[in-house]
Amino acid sequence: MQSNLNNRMKILIVCSGNSGNVSSFIKEQAESLKRPNLEVSYFIIRGKGCKGYLKNYRRLLHTIRKFRPSLIHAHYGLSGLLSVLQRKVPVVITFHGSDIHQIKNLKFSKLAIKFSKIQIFVSEKLKDIAKCKQGLVIPCGVDTSIFYSRNKIDCRQSMNLNKEKRYILFSSAFDNPIKNAALARKAVQNSGLNNLEILELKGYKRDEVSLMLNAVDLLLMTSYSEGSPQIIKEAMSCNIPIVSTNVGDVEWLFSDLEGHFLTNQTPEGVVEGIKSALNFSQQKFKTEGRNRIIELELDKNVVGKKIIDLYKTIIT
């Protein structure tokens, strides 16, 4: 089902829809691929675990016959494994983190790696864990048209936040066990700082996430593991201070930038990071994070072009 590059390129995005929607970073990347001669369609998987994914196989074959894709781009290992069960359409797989970090998922991801055409990892650490020498490292890009520096007071007013308080935005929902919200809450509780509140990042639309990032004093991530955390890159694009455990590619993203603080998995370490970030915020609210995102070529449109160039190495 390969087609000439002069003809329309048709990409089928295969990913989970168990959360109710396609993950924002997958959707934003897919949208960045669209060109006059490139069509993108989605195949949304319903069901959990290997057995749940396999139940989608007949529907996937039907979609392939109907859409006739030039290639399949699957996101996460199980989506990739489902996609490579058919052998007519070449498969590109992006591995995002939990599909490599979790042992129960890694074995399925390694099978998918074996039968896929191109393997993309969002961080070097994931590639190393997977022991995939031929894999490519391409983090998901940031929509810099949404995530940019805005007026802090205006954003607080828009999000109904008290202009006098100090706010920490937690990197995710409190009930996500991988994100280790207990550590973040304990650090805030033990900080000895008055007028300080930690907010949950849950249920916001994309523009609202940008407003929240610009309204708070810092972003806090205390995760046990990550791939290439999107919220970190989005916060950097908004030029706000960040405190994070050393997970995924965070150390590489931060480099030696002022206002970006790595911490360990202890309340004392997180408290130290919070105090340093608040001090930076009071003295000089804006960081140079956005410049770093541009320097690393992590704007979503730049990343999208890289991925299209990869597609062209397959489709002849």
Q: Could you tell me where the beta strands, DSSP code E, fall in 17-156? A: 38-45, 71-75, 91-95, 118-121, 136-137
Segment holding 273, helix H or strand E: helix 267-283
Angstrom distance (rounded) from CA 177 to CA 190: 21
In single-letter form, the type of residue at position 264 comes to: N
Choices 3.20.20.370, 3.40.50.2000, 3.40.50.300, 3.90.850.10: CATH for 152-295: 3.40.50.2000
Give whole-number Cα distances, 145 to 140, 207, 296, 301, in Å.
15, 10, 17, 10
The whole-model pTM stands at: 0.93
Q: Are 136 and 113 in contact (CB under 8 A)?
A: no
Please determine whether the domains at 9-141+299-314 and 152-295 fall in the same fold group of CATH. yes
Ranges of residues in the chain with a pLDDT under 70 are 1-6, 19-20, 316
Which CATH fold would you assign to the domain 9-141+299-314?
Answer: Rossmann fold (3.40.50)
Q: Domain spans of the chain? A: 9-141+299-314, 152-295
pLDDT digit string, tens, across residues 60-110: 999 999 999 999 999 999 999 999 999 999 999 999 999 999 999 999 999
pLDDT digit string, tens, across residues 106-128: 999 999 999 999 999 999 999 99
